[in-house]
Amino acid sequence: MINRINYVNEYYRSVFGERTLKICIDGGFTCPNRDGSKSKGGCIFCSERGSGEHLDQKQSIREQVISTFSKIKVQRANSFILYFQNYSNTYASVQELKQKYDDAISAFYEAKINSTKFADKKLVGLQIATRPDCINDEIAELLNSYRGSLHVSVELGLQTINDDSANFLNRCYTSIDFQNAIRTLRKHDIDCIAHIIVGLPAKSGRESHEDIIRTINFINGLDIQGIKIHSCYVVGGTVLKDLYDKGTYTPLSLEEYKQELVYILTHLRKDIVIHRITGDAPKDILVAPSWNSHKKLVINGITKIFEKEDLYQGMYYKS
């Protein structure tokens, strides 16, 4: 059974007692890697919208949360996590951050009060995606202040432990910055989710399996509670697309990615919750690989490998 891997849906059920969905929010932030404070170009794989193509940038935070309640998906769960998704969602003053997080929380309760249909809906969590160099003690303290009523987690991009590849990616922070951000967040009891990408471009063409081994060892050595994994994909309007067009970067094939994923899933610390194993670039901007837009190819493929090779042994979740 595939759910013996420590997947996030089961984890949420164990923590919140029921199915839990995320309400994705574009908080109107930017990123130090885009506004010129560190760089203007952004990471070479990052799309114009900082991975928030499906979000409505024109709507306020309040409107985004309220409009989510008109979607059918909401009927499928009673517990919700507010998820500030794209760009760097701690890149502002503490006052501004508080205002934005509070706006989202009050919009949730407003939607609940305004319709008896939503009376049973519960807000259980706040999840913030950001960069390690946008975390400090003050911000971690602010996040900690929500822990009285919400499960709070921060998703930090690492992508790779290899700082040479990271420079090539124009990541503009070091793996030590990542490590320091985890320490700061954990000091304030905030759950940390690392984001890694498999098959990244590097000076020599593409990162190797050795890079994956080192990245996983690094993560295993840190106080990290969750991980998001996906294969590197090429979207339009990026430097990576230029490299792909020139033939200097080739994404992993589905088979190659599945093999790397098997390694990762069987070598990660067992308590680390797997939040994602596939990417989800919008079809209209995805350039390559085409298999990336079919999540089931990865999920079903991994399930089959694990069943066939009995790789569940010793793995994770209580059955």
Nearest CA to 175 out of 122, 211, 210, 127 is that of 211
Q: How far is the CB of 66 from ligand SF4 (least distance, A)?
A: 26
**21, 26, 42, 201: which one contacts ligand SF4 (CB under 6 A)?**
42
**Distance from C-alpha of 130 to C-alpha of 107, rounded to nearest angstrom:** 22
CB-wise, 79 or 165, nearer to ligand SF4?
165
Which segment (39-47, 92-100, 241-249, 282-290) binds ligand SF4 by CB under 6 A?
39-47
CB-wise, 124 or 172, nearer to ligand SF4?
172
Nearest CA to 230 out of 181, 297, 304 is that of 297
State yes or no: residue 87 binds ligand SF4 (CB under 6 A). yes
Give the helix ranges, DSSP H, for the chain: 8-16, 61-68, 94-113, 137-144, 163-168, 175-187, 209-220, 239-246, 254-267, 295-309
Count the neighbouring beta carbons within 10 Å of the beta carbon of residue 178: 27
x/- string (CB under 6 A) for ligand SF4, residues 110-149? ---------------------x------------------
Burial class (CB in 10 A: 0-12, 13-18, 19+), 284: exposed
Which single residue is written with the structure tokens 């409107």? 63
Q: Are 121 and 171 in contact (CB under 8 A)?
A: no
CB-wise, 5 or 156, nearer to ligand SF4?
156
CB-wise, 91 or 101, nearer to ligand SF4?
91
State yes or no: residue 157 binds ligand SF4 (CB under 6 A). yes
Which segment (38-46, 68-76, 92-100, 206-214) binds ligand SF4 by CB under 6 A?
38-46
**20, 33, 64, 127: which one contacts ligand SF4 (CB under 6 A)?**
33
Q: Residue 110 in 3-state DSSP? A: helix
Which segment (31-39, 216-224, 238-246, 281-289) binds ligand SF4 by CB under 6 A?
31-39
Q: How far is the CB of 198 from ligand SF4 (least distance, A)?
A: 15
**Distance from C-alpha of 225 to C-alpha of 222, rounded to nearest angstrom:** 9
Token digits of residue 124? 């259980």
Token digits of residue 82? 């507010």
x/- string (CB under 6 A) for ligand SF4, residues 43-82? x--x---x--------------------------------
Q: What Rg value do the Cα atoms of the chain yield, rounded?
A: 19
Which segment (41-49, 207-215, 227-235, 310-318) binds ligand SF4 by CB under 6 A?
41-49
Per CB under 6 A, contacts with ligand SF4 among 237-266 are none
Of the CA atoms within 13 Å of residue 283, those in its CB half-sphere come to: 4
**Distance from C-alpha of 13 to C-alpha of 230, rounded to nearest angstrom:** 23
- Judged by CB under 6 A, the number of residues near ligand SF4 is 11
Single-letter amino acid, residue 270: K
**Distance from C-alpha of 162 to C-alpha of 167, rounded to nearest angstrom:** 9
Q: How far is the CB of 205 from ligand SF4 (least distance, A)?
A: 21
**What is the DSSP-derived secondary structure letter of residue 79?**
E
CB-wise, 79 or 130, nearer to ligand SF4?
130
Helices (H) and strands (E) in the chain, counts: 10, 11
Q: How far is the CB of 43 from ligand SF4 (least distance, A)?
A: 3
Which segment (14-22, 40-48, 55-63, 252-260) binds ligand SF4 by CB under 6 A?
40-48
Q: Applying CB under 6 A, which residues contact ligand SF4?
A: 31, 33-34, 42-43, 46, 50, 87-88, 131, 157
